[in-house]
Amino acid sequence: MKWFQHRVGGRTLKVYLVSVKHKKLEGCDGMYHPDECAIYIDKALEPSKRNEILVHELFEHAVEDISGAGHVSRQALGDDDKHEEVEEARVRSRTPIIHALFQDFGCQFPAAPQPRARKASS
């Protein structure tokens, strides 16, 4: 289910809340897929954890990719595997701080969509 979409660096990035078993999550709580310009997040997470995952994927991985910073890092390291390892370590270390800053500044995260009520069968 689409949570929201937003323009980031001239691209429209879509964010979806999906089942933990969804193939796009690849066993994680959240994943950024640059080829789709999309983020997938486990819909079962409580709001604070969901927002932290959003910060991790959107304000870290997506911005890293869309801004071109990831390309700079790949060139400097000269190794895609090493780049992925360094990027994830860097992102994981910054995410709690960025999330706390957003909360301190009163940032309002988008409300999660409510599941549609099913029609009762007669």
* Phi, psi (degrees; rounded to nearest 5) at 9: 55, 35
pLDDT per residue of the chain (122 residues) written in tens, 0 to 9: 999 999 999 999 999 999 999 999 999 999 999 999 999 999 999 999 999 999 999 988 999 899 988 888 888 888 778 888 888 898 899 999 999 999 999 998 888 887 776 666 65
Domains by residue range for the chain, with CATH: 2-104 (1.10.10)
Give the up-direction half-sphere exposure of residue 77: CA atoms within 13 A in the CB hemisphere: 15
What is the reported pLDDT for 84? Answer: 85
Rounded Cα gap, residues 25 and 21, in angstroms = 7
Q: What is the DSSP string of 18-61?
A: E-TT-GGGTTSSEEEETTTTEEEEETTS-HHHHHHHHIIIIIII
- Decide: helix, strand or coil at residue 104: helix
Report the alpha-carbon distance of residue 5 to residue 78 in Å, rounded.
33
Q: Residue 106: helix, strand or coil by DSSP?
A: coil
Q: Residue 30: which of 18, 14, 47 has the closest Cα? A: 18
pLDDT at residue 117 in the model:
67
